[in-house]
Amino acid sequence: MKRTLSKTTATPIIRSAMILSRIPIVVRELTKLESNYYKYQSELEKRLMWTFPDYYYFKKGSLSEHKFIKAQNYPVSKIPGVWYPHGIPDIKRRRERRSKQEIVLPRDKIEDDVSLVGSSGSTKGSTDGAKGSISRPIVPNDLKTEADKKGNLQTVERELSRTLYLLVQDENLGWKFPSFVVEGNDKGLHDIAEQAIKSLSQNEINTWLVSKTPVAVFEDSDDGSYEFFLKSHILAGTFAMKDNTFKQFAWLTKDEIKNHVTEQYFRNVEFLLAN
Amino acid sequence: MNNRQTIRSLIQQSRSWTSSPSSYSYSYIHNGATIQFIRNKRTTSAASSSSLKKMGRNSAESLSPPLQRAVTQLSVLSARKKMPRLLKLSNEDLIKHQTIEKAWMLYKKDKAIERSMRLQRQYESIQDALDTLESINPHLYKLATSTNGEGNGRFPLEFRLPTDAPPNSEKLWPQQFSSTNLQK
């Protein structure tokens, strides 16, 4: 009903807002239920796996076969007249058929020494142990970045496992997604929002607009203006504020957005944001 | 026809036993090759004694290397002697297993419902936004829904999939970007 009315009145103010997001760089952490279930499944799979055909991978009588056999903890086979409290061993091809097969990879002593030095000496993936570097333990990089430690909100290099959204602080309206007034009819909503975001930034940024169609609309009951939301992703470049259109900006996760914006605003955009 | 059947028929034909079949070990000679039986189990390989003989055997005991390789590869694929025992769960374990599976199913179902509800809400929101736009400003609506020509176009190749561990800090994010380089 309002829409039929608005046709007759003067055209209301239209704003085009951009939800600019940075997709996660690291996959999200598994919940406790998920990690426990995956562990259970992988143990089941190992239990039901066929015996490892080592004769296929190691030539008979070779040194590598010898090393491999030496590293294994083969199960004890059945001896007549012996009582086994945990059931009679059932061994085929040196595997206990009632449980999963444990394969131990042989490791050279020299390589072990080098890897020990590498891990204790420097954590920054150094190549000082060039000879044994192939077998050095793999240490994943820290999930917490410099920005996380310092609490710097103005960079995309934070909260790597979450989706970040660009929010700006307006003098009067507080924190919100950057929005721009649409003037004239020659440019679409998406053009205005994209160009405005790019001109807002000091450095060039590469963005990708998901769609030209708006994903949501807010109607401001005070001044009768409409705010249309468009979604876009940042792909490269560093966003930094060029002028004083907005007070400041921040890259925030959904939880942090909840603390920054008003309750009403968050309720309106909540379903548009990824966890 | 497998080797076992061949051997059995050979045994029945010739009956040239060196000792009685009931004893601990006995052997049998066929075409110059000796087939040993210990506790009623043949100890010489089947391949060295029967049909594979014609295909490229270089001595009575071993196969030619390419043939041996083929035999090994086939044995890797075969389940013979490699199968673990079947799982036999006690009642308690079975209930535990069923509980785990049920919990997982419920968890997945909850997530799927949540997801479909969110998608539904997003879809309705898009429709609402487009309806509103059409009623306020038909021209902008036309620009927003037109599919012709230039638009967001191709899916960007610069998109990166999330990985299990973060890259090194200098490669975390492509800090430098210039649109002039992109157009080359």
- CB atoms under 10 Å from CB of B169, counted, come to 13
* Predicted local confidence at residue A135, as pLDDT: 66
Q: CB contact, 8 Å: A95 with chain B?
A: yes
- The answer to whether the CB atoms of A212 and B145 lie below 8 A apart is yes
What does the mean pLDDT of chain B come to? 79
Query: Which contiguous run of DSSP H or E holds residue B36?
Result: strand B33-38
Strands B25-30 and B33-38 turn out to be antiparallel
Largest Cα separation within chain A, whole Å, is: 101
Q: Do A26 and B166 touch (CB under 8 A)?
A: yes
**Chain A interface, mutation test: which of B177, B178, B180, most A Cβ atoms within 10 Å?**
B177
Which of A6, A97, A188 shows the shortest C-beta gap to B140?
A188
- Looking at residue A115, what is its pLDDT? 47
Q: Give how far the C-alpha of residue A137 lies from the chain's centroid of Cα atoms, to the nearest Å.
A: 23
Domain coordinates in residue numbering, chain A: 14-26+161-272, 32-113
Angle at which helix B138-145 crosses helix A189-200, to 10 degrees, equals 80
Residue A188 has pLDDT above 50, yes or no: yes
The CATH number of domain A14-26+161-272 is 3.90.79.10: yes
Q: Residue A214 and residue B143: Cβ atoms within 8 Å? A: no
What's the alpha-carbon Rg for chain B, to the nearest Å?
Answer: 36
Q: What is the pLDDT, as a whole number, of residue B5?
A: 58
Our CA dihedral for A72, B73, B82, A37, rounded to 10 degrees, sits at 80
pLDDT digits (tens, 9 = 90+) for A210-268: 989 999 999 988 888 999 999 999 999 999 998 888 999 999 999 999 999 999 999 99
Given the structure tokens 């998920």, which residue do they identify?
A34
State which amino acid sits at residue A11. T
- Judging contacts by C-beta atoms under 8 Å, the chain B residues touching residue A50 are 79, 82-84
Give dist(CA A196, CA A210) in Å, integer. 17
Residue A7 has pLDDT above 50, yes or no: no
Do A92 and B152 lie within an 8 Å CB cutoff?
Answer: no
Residue A71 contacts residue A106 (beta carbons within 8 Å): yes
Cα gap A133→A124, rounded to integer Å:
13
**Cα–Cα distance for residue pair A274/A13, rounded to 1 Å:** 29
pTM confidence score: 0.75
In the DSSP assignment, the letter for residue A154 is: S
Decide if A248 touches B, using CB distance below 8 A: no
CB contact under 8 A, A206 and B158: yes
Of A27, A212, A272, Cβ closest to residue B151? A212
What is the rounded radius of gyration, in angstroms, for the C-alpha atoms of chain A? Answer: 30
Tell me the residues of chain A between 255 and 274 that have a Cβ less than 8 Å away from chain B. Answer: 271-272
Mutation target among B117, B128, B133 for the A interface, most CBs of A within 10 A: B133
Three-class secondary structure of residue B120 per DSSP = helix
Residue A38: HSE in the Cβ half-sphere, 13 Å Cα cutoff: 6
State the first-to-last Cα distance of chain A, in angstroms, to the nearest integer. Answer: 35
Instruction: Determine the length of chain B.
Output: 184
Q: How far apart are CA A14 and CA A225, in angstroms?
A: 6
What mean pLDDT is reported for chain A?
86
Our CA-based measurement puts residue A101 at a distance from the nearest CA of chain B, in whole angstroms, of: 9
